[in-house]
Structure 1
Amino acid sequence: MSTNWDEQYPVSKHVIVIEHEPVMRMLLRETLEDLGYTSASFEDAVQALTYLRYVEGDCAFIIADQGMPRGMQGSEFIRMAKERWPSIPSILTSGFFVDEQVVPPSTVYLHKPYTLNQLEATIDAVLLQESVPTE
């Protein structure tokens, strides 16, 4: 059986990144660019939510750090985004332990520090998870 991977991935190649550490934001932006994505990166979830509303949920997936400044955590952002745009795939990251009950449904958790290979595999997993028909 042959799979056409081009049909499995989202049409949009734009990613929303929420990461409060400037160096991590830069590394994620560069890594995503190497993987063929463009990204909009934000230091807090409030800015990212404003942007997501502006683009009307048009993004390939979200990468959100759990430990965010200014109140809203990454998991809260993902839950809010999925309420309005349930088909947006999401990855929640953290350098600290995150209880699995905090991770929103159909969100993949990626513990920091992670390798580039782990990030790429997680992106593949979250995109494949979202493209599999559910009944």
Structure 2
Amino acid sequence: MSVRLDEQLPATGHVIVIEDDSVVRMLFEETLAELGFSSATFDNAASALTHLLRIKGECILIIADQGLPGGIQGSEFIRLAKEQWPLIPSILTSGYVVEEQLIPPSTIFLHKPYTLNQLEMTIVAVLQQQRPLV
């Protein structure tokens, strides 16, 4: 079954990605660009938080890896972002088991390894939850 992503996603938007693996960050950038989104990618949460504050929360999605260097984990970053901007949808990723209580409310957890198709479908699912009903 083939799904037309262009019919299911907003036309444009800015996505923040926090991933410490440079290869995975690059894959996120390419995948998001193919889906029509601009992105800002970071290898740590502190830099991403500075960016999010600078753009005043103007993004359509946050994708964060749980295991990040620098003391702020992905789930913590998502919670901080949602305190200020509660409607920003989010995806938390990890190659490890993450206890359910650590996953912020309304955040989808995507376990590594995942396929590009799984990533795309998860992005679609998260963004569709935010779309107003017509």
TM-score over 0.5 for the pair:
yes
Matched with 1:54 is 54
Report percent identity of matched pairs.
63
* 1:132 shift after superposition: 5.5
TM-score w.r.t. the length of structure 2 is: 0.89
* 1:129 shift after superposition: 1.7
Matches within 5 A, 1:1-135: 9-10=9-10, 12-131=12-131
* 1:8 shift after superposition: 7.2
| Whole-Å separation in 1 of the counterparts to 2:83 and 2:114 | 28
Corresponding letter in the other structure for 1:45: A
TM-score w.r.t. the length of structure 1 is: 0.89
Unaligned runs of 5+ in 2: none
3-state secondary structure, aligned to 1:101: helix
Matched residue pairs, number?
129
* 1:130 shift after superposition: 2.3
* 1:11 shift after superposition: 6.5
Q: Is contact 1:8–1:131 with CA below 8 Å preserved after alignment?
A: no
* 1:131 shift after superposition: 2.6
Structure 1 stretches of at least 4 aligned residues deviating more than 2 Å after TM superposition: 5-12, 130-133
RMSD, matched Cα:
1.9
| Whole-Å separation in 1 of the counterparts to 2:39 and 2:20 | 15
Q: Is contact 1:12–1:59 with CA below 8 Å preserved after alignment?
A: no
